Structure 1
């Protein structure tokens, strides 16, 4: 409610600043490379494949960050970093469905368009595009709930990993007071998400840990760079290992 009131009062300023941001931020492409595949089995001694590798099916859904904007190739992006961190322990079959600009509602729609299929783990990158729109935290959390319920029924997944919205108050491409407003709104979204996820045994929130180092962001000052994708991918992989290694 507070953010809705601020938006009403500050709308003219935010509109001018938003228009400037859209003109000034360079439009980076989504990462090149395959969006589905299987990890190579790790070879043991004398070229024999390690038989202890556990099969794992992973679906990645989301926005421009899931699509790898800020990295040149998917191997440097979130999908590649997750697979790289898991392939010694798991034989991973994975797929990525993501598009720049997708909101949580659009991610839900894209999931429904995907054929019903079984996945063990679904990783979701969502929230930034919801924060930049006039969506309230209450509405967003309802959309998150609808999305996770759809993932359970559509993909029979047992583990859903949701991302914490990054601290938008430090994004160098955003001017003040727009930067402050979006950062405050993102914190409100995260607070509701954390509270709700705590009641869902099959859901977890990935947190890279530590402050965001803007030096490692992409050249547009809005998306992750390869180093942040690596940290993010390793954090996701650690959650997966903790639940699936036994």
Structure 2
């Protein structure tokens, strides 16, 4: 792979990062605060915090919620740099998408074409996205995926929905493994540097081959599942005691939700 090969470099980076994110459960095995909380309570607590976050209409409350998530990440021994990058990227994308509103919304002028209502809306929207993504990242980082499935079954989520979620999670690993093999094959067949234009021209062929292979692998995975008795799955039983960490987390969630609902 040459320095001017954006397709191979981007696809390889995406594959490595995605597989690492799906497979990494090292944080969930650490002795942190959220790791000690019962998965059902974590699921309900994070869900409640996300629900109240999306109702904020001023930048102050979602910024405070984002600060709370950073504190929870630190107390749960989540790598702050990694967590921050996973939060900042969707937050920046949402800010770019909603940035025109800073000019389009009418109201008092802030600076040049920027208006106060527009800037407030853009800041509030991006902060809500950042806080929500950060909360979801905390759930996935500090709780094993099998424990999340067990929590969903405990709260009586329909079995087909849990089975579909489990199959999707496992199939994502298969899809990215397929993409990794395509990238490796592409690198091994390149014997001379390619121009930037040629690399971008090859992107369509790579994408088409990847989609065809992903569909074919999906059909084979489905046939294999049906041959083994279907995709109903099994009950994901989890044993987890209730302790001080659960009570502390429940108090934090209750206080935060109450403050978000009651305070103007």
Could you tell me the TM-score, scaled by structure 1's length? 0.23
Tell which structure's C-alpha radius of gyration is larger. 2
Higher strand share: 1
Higher helix share: 2
